[in-house]
Amino acid sequence: MHTVSGQGFEFDMSMLPISDGAVELKAPGMRYKFTAFPSARIAAEFKGIGKGTITQMKAEVEVDVNRFRQPAGPGTEIRFDAAEINADAACVEFTGLFVRATDQKRFPFRVLFGSVTDGSGVVIPSSTSEISGLLSKSVNLGSRARPAVVTTAMYEAEDGISELK
């Protein structure tokens, strides 16, 4: 993830295999969803807070597209572009914990991707059925010329706060 302007995260990561992916074809569109987890801790920088490590993270994705291309037929690669994503039916969210390197302060976070005006995706279903698992996916959200809008909510997890009764 690369921040083009404002405060936000900078990191690269590899993910563990997806175990709960689902693809539903509903001509002329389709929907896919999954949860995913990084394969290891992630070196990261949050502009304005500093460098550190993402020690916990979960990605939740649910995307609905109004049309797609599957030239080789059922069970094969499905392709779509950002313009084919239903603007009000796509959710890409990262939640986790960032630990700043200088003082080990903990910052729980939530990153929510907004509308995507550029990018594309490739999804491969696990079978030829209209409803199947997700074998693999590769998606680009935004570009340098037209980045995706992202909202990041982060707060400092404080120690020594009184428990309310």
CA dist 15 and 1 (Å) reads 13
The average confidence (pLDDT) of the chain is 88
* Nearest CA-CA partner of 53 in 10, 92, 94: 10
* CB atoms inside a 10 Å sphere around CB 98: 25
Mean pLDDT, range 61-85, rounded to an integer: 93
- pLDDT at res. 117: 80
Break the chain into its structural domains and give their ranges. 9-154
pLDDT category at 2 given cuts 50, 70, 90 is: low
CA atoms of 51 and 154, how far apart (whole Å): 15
| 3-state SS class at 84 | helix
What pTM value is reported for the model? 0.83
**Dist CA 51 CA 141 (whole Å):** 24
